[in-house]
Structure 1
Amino acid sequence: MKKAILIPGNGGGSTHDDWFPYVAEGLRARGLQVVSPGTWPDAELARAEYWLPYLEQLGADENTILVGFSSGAIAAMRHAQTHRILGSVLVAGYHTTLGLRTEEVSGYFDQPWDWERIRANQQWIVQLNSPSDPYIPIEEARFLHERLGSDYHEVANRGHFYPMAEFPELLAAIDPHL
């Protein structure tokens, strides 16, 4: 059975808040098993040393779609760099530390990105970013799109995709891949 694992961003985010329950319900209605554990270990910093093994514990495999938000998108990309998955949805993704100390210590940026492996280890990648995001410059998103060949969606006036209770653009973007 296909499943989706929902991955929040750092700063204590939870997959039981904002648009995550809406997306979880929509994915279940599309026949997917949804893994949404709420708060993740090391939720404030979302360090790779905790999150990448946790993804393995949750059973991320070749039948899994990873839905990652912000630093959760970074975790999804790093997981896909070394593991086969079905696909990924990267919401507010980026590829540098953005000059932030929390990102510098996260462990996700200690090695170069292997874009080819990330692409090769999954069947598809959907990416959603907003030009109005106050944290992620749109150039970061466009760079990811160029490297990953993602199904790219720039969503106007959505900021950093929170706070918001619904996210129909995500479900519409993923539908062609299911």
Structure 2
Amino acid sequence: MKVLFIHGNGGCTAAHHWYRSAAKELSPLGFDVVLETFPDNIIAHQDIWLNFMEKQLNGDSEVILVGHSSGALAAMRYAETHSLVGSILVSACHTDLGDPTEKASGFYDTPWQWEAIKANQQWIIQFHSEDDPLIPVKEARFVRDQLTPEYYELKNRGHFMGSDSGGKDFPELVEVIKQKF
């Protein structure tokens, strides 16, 4: 089974935050982990990112998507039209929050297909922190209410970046994947 990590925008790369430590823990468990820096990692245009995901996944439906921030948007948009095992959404939102860079990504140009996102996967897990400085918790709760995922609202984790939690680990994420398998 493949696990594809989808980092956030703003220049984020596969080397940032908790991505490598989580990937390192999942690989020995038999997962085929894909952790690469996406092209166009400043704005994260939807068409570029979804095309990159298509190439990485090559039609495989035995996939878990792990999307952080803009990566969560990409995971949700991908799930609108593709079958997956499941997805993990970290710091997900559903609006551009009035940010011109977010608006330019294209992720918000069409209505969300919430029912398709749910129907195309066996499960969805969502993480958010009450103190996220970039995505208000009400955004995450709206996504939660639409997708009815297994939802974890944590405290003092900010935007789940390495500096937010005092380190680069995200043990809760790895643990929920282990529990699923």
Q: Fold-level match, TM-score > 0.5? A: yes
Instruction: Give distance in 1, aligned partners of 2:8 and 2:142.
Output: 20
- CA shift at 1:14, angstroms? 1.1
> What percent identity do the matched residue pairs reach?
47
Q: CA RMSD in A?
A: 1.0
- CA shift at 1:174, angstroms? 2.4
Q: Which runs of 5 or more residues in structure 1 are unaligned? A: none
- Counterpart of 2:30? 31
- Counterpart of 2:46? 48
SS at match of 2:177: helix
Report if aligned partners of 1:74, 1:108 keep a CA contact under 8 Å in 2: yes
Matched, 1:22 2:55: no
SS at match of 1:29: helix
SS at match of 2:116: helix
- Counterpart of 2:173? 170
Instruction: Give distance in 1, aligned partners of 2:102 and 2:73.
Output: 10
Matched, 1:93 2:88: no
Q: Which of these residues, 57, 64, 68, is aligned with residue 59 of structure 1? A: 57
- CA deviations over 1:126-167 (Å, ceiling 9, x no partner): 100000100111111111111101010011100001123110
- Counterpart of 1:140? 139
Matched, 1:152 2:151: yes
Alignment-mate amino acid for residue 9 of structure 2: N
Instruction: Give distance in 2, aligned partners of 1:56 and 1:16.
Output: 21
- CA shift at 1:33, angstroms? 0.6
Q: Which runs of 5 or more residues in structure 2 are unaligned? A: none
Q: Compute the TM-score of the two structures, normalised by the length of structure 1.
A: 0.95
Matched, 1:131 2:130: yes
Instruction: Give distance in 2, aligned partners of 1:50 and 1:79.
Output: 12
Q: Compute the TM-score of the two structures, normalised by the length of structure 2.
A: 0.94
- CA shift at 1:29, angstroms? 2.6
